[in-house]
Structure 1
Amino acid sequence: MAQTAQPTHFVGIAGAGMSSLAAILLATGEPVSGCDLYPNEATRMLASRGAQIFEGHAAVHVAGAGRVITTRAASGAPDVAEAQRLGVPIVKRAALLGQLMGERRGVAVAGTHGKTTTTSLIAMMLIESGVDPSVLIGGVPVGWELGGRYGAG
């Protein structure tokens, strides 16, 4: 991932997918900021790793951001409107995931039920086997702080 002095700002950073992506970017050395209506354990953990976390949504949050990461749910947030006004690139969460995975070989788990459990089991098997995978899980595995892990592979 290309590093920038400008933070990547996540609108809705407390969600499992967004907080995991933010954790991966932080692990690469990229500065991260984010906001959410409801800060939680994930946002506290990200803050302890160096992310700047804001409670609520406000246009001022994107000042100085290099790009803004959003989901469909955040499309009407004032942060997103301000990013559009300033010409700050707005990237969908799925597109950021694609950028991250475009640099690596990956395993994807899909289905109706059990994706988090199955992905966690695969990750644990790879880690215990001596592989150092990067992992993005839609939940937090037992013993982990967040659902994102940046590894060598």
Structure 2
Amino acid sequence: MNDFKFCGWEKKPRTMLRFVKPGDIFCFRLDDKKYCFGRIISKIMLGHVAEIFDSISSLPEISEKEIITAKKIIDLVVIDTYSLFDKKIENGSDWRIIGHQNNYTPKDIDGVYFTYGLGKSCKKVDVFDNESSISEEESKKFPRLIPHGDFDIKNLIKK
């Protein structure tokens, strides 16, 4: 059972960082006429891991069916939840939590890692914040553990 609950675009213009949780469905303005959607996968040390759906709409609304059938438009990414949802720091960005999927369990996350560090201090971190040491050479196989803001996400989508 998917158990979705939607609150809509207008209900919560701002969500404090401590209230963002896995299963949250979010929406953000891609430009003046389009909205994108995604879901919070997990919380890690520098933000939240999120998936951005391939669903783009002229309205800030998405259905259960669209979420269930959505594909990822980009690889899983660490987002700067604090600046996107809580403080809304970036000029022109508008990200909002518009719903939640209760009992959400992420799929297709095996082998998804982010890395940080240099030389012999390289680490890889999975989507649940489990960390292990790796070689610098191996670290080149994975994206850097850097929280992405509005500008970064929009550039990834446009590629």
What TM-score comes out, normalization by structure 2 length? Answer: 0.27
| Greater helix fraction, Structure 1 or Structure 2 | 1
| Greater strand fraction, Structure 1 or Structure 2 | 2
